A and B are shown apart, each in its own frame.
Chain A
Amino acid sequence: MRARDINKVELVKQKAIELLVEVGFEGFTMNKLAKACRISVATLYIYYKDKDDLILNIGTEEVHRMSAIMLEDFDPESSFAEGLRQQWKNRAKCILENPLTAQMIEQLRSSTYQEKIFETFGEIFKEPLGKFMHNAIERGEIAAMPLETYWSVAFGPLYSLLRFHNEGKSLSGKPFVLTDEVLWSAFDLVLKGFKK
């Protein structure tokens, strides 16, 4: 019995993400991936059954890795302001430090792989985030509202800013770089919006 060659598996994963972002799911083939990794197609098939198996495995692994970053140092029992600040910090870090993975996850969201992969996301976040929102309502820090409203107000502005940053431009093509100052002043506005 031989263990997986960890370096090779990591290389395959890295190149697969790059290729998926570059050519999309339709254009992605095992041949192109093997070429990018400078390994034989047969080697890919030792690790993965087929293209779907590869995309599902890598997608799920990356979703798990991102989820762990998003929940780092996040305590559902913390005050609303503190907990939301940590969430912003983690989510920004996640996307700024892993732009390719973030883009791949976006692509997965609108693909046929969506259901299988994002089941995992839901399971991981449901408990801590649900508890956090529930606590905030219980303590009277925010008003009761549907989860969708909460999520949109809490994170919509953050994701818009991060998108502008990753594209390097904002509305009407104006150059844009996300600074800490811009990020945290937007956060303060969101917090103000939630205040009862």
Chain B
Amino acid sequence: MEININEILLFKTNIRTEDDKKHIGKIMEEHKIGQWTVDLHDVDCVLRIVSPVLKHQDVITLVMKNGYTCEVLT
């Protein structure tokens, strides 16, 4: 399996519940972000996005504007 590390964006968030996820899902859809997942089982609620065009800051701005915390996962 080939993975392009540069296209994977990872964030620590507080997208914690199924409702939060639904909410974020709508926002992702509106912004045509197709490949995204949130790990609700994880303490860091990791948001993972695969995109060749998006930058970390784009996602942070978008998520925070909608009321969630979002920082780059290191």
A binds B: yes
Q: At the interface, yes or no: B53 with Cβ under 8 Å from chain A?
A: no
Residues of A within 8 A of B39 (CB): 30, 45, 49-51
Q: Please, how many residues of chain A have a CB less than 8 angstroms from a CB on the other chain?
A: 18
CB proximity of A96 to chain B, nearest CB, Å: 31
Q: Which residue of B lies closest to A40 (CB)?
A: B74
Residues of B within 8 A of A31 (CB): 42-44
CB proximity of A10 to chain B, nearest CB, Å: 14
B43/A29 in contact, CB under 8 A: yes
Residues of A within 8 A of B44 (CB): 30-31, 41
Residues of B within 8 A of A139 (CB): none
A50/B73 in contact, CB under 8 A: no
**Cross-chain contact of A47 among B3, B41, B42 (Cβ < 8 A):** B3
Residues of A within 8 A of B38 (CB): 50
**Cross-chain contact of B73 among A29, A41, A52, A53 (Cβ < 8 A):** A41
Distance of A5 Cα from B1 Cα, bound (Å): 10
Binds A, one of B4-12, B24-32, B59-67: B4-12
Q: At the interface, yes or no: A182 with Cβ under 8 Å from chain B?
A: no
A41/B46 in contact, CB under 8 A: yes
- Beyond A30-B39, A50-B42, A52-B41, is A42–B1 a contact (Cβ under 8 Å)? no
Using CB atoms and an 8 Å cutoff, list the residues of chain A in contact with chain B.
Answer: 1-4, 29-31, 40-42, 45-47, 49-53
Given contacts A31-B44, A46-B8, A53-B37, 14 further A-B contacts (CB under 8 A): A2-B2, A29-B43, A31-B43, A42-B10, A45-B10, A45-B46, A45-B48, A45-B73, A47-B3, A49-B48, A50-B39, A50-B41, A50-B48, A51-B41
Provide a sorted-by-A list of 5 A–B residue pairs whose CB atoms are within 8 angstroms.
A1-B2, A2-B4, A30-B39, A45-B8, A50-B46
